[in-house]
Amino acid sequence: MEGNIVADIDLSDLPDRTTTHLANDVTVSHITGDLYVTDSFGNSIWHLDSSNAYAASVLVTDPRFSGVGGPLPIGLNGIAYHPVADYMIVARSFPTGALFKVTPAGTVTAVTILPPGLDISAADGIVFRNNVLGNSLLVAVANSTVYEFVSFDNWSSANLYRKGVSSYTGGTTIAIRGVEVFMTHAHFFDDTGSYEIDKIYFRRFAGIPPSPPDTTRDTSPTGEDPTDDKSSASLIGYSFLVLMAPLLASMF
Listed range (9-13, 91-95, 209-213) with the worst mean pLDDT? 209-213
| Closest to 108 measured CA to CA, from 68, 155, 141 | 155
Domains assigned to the chain: 23-250 (2.120.10.30)
Q: What are phi and psi of 232, to 5 degrees?
A: -65, -45
Confidence of residue 17 (pLDDT cuts 50, 70, 90): low
CA 196 to the chain's CA centroid: 20
| Closest to 148 measured CA to CA, from 161, 158, 135 | 161
Residue 59 near residue 14, CB atoms below 8 Å: no
Confidence of residue 48 (pLDDT cuts 50, 70, 90): very high
How many Å apart are CA 171 and CA 163, to the nearest integer? 14
How many Å apart are CA 63 and CA 163, to the nearest integer? 29
Q: Give tens-digit pLDDT for 77-134.
A: 999 999 999 999 999 999 999 999 999 999 999 999 999 999 999 999 999 986 667 8
Q: Give tens-digit pLDDT for 149-203.
A: 999 899 999 999 999 988 777 788 999 988 899 998 877 767 677 778 889 988 8
DSSP state of 51: G
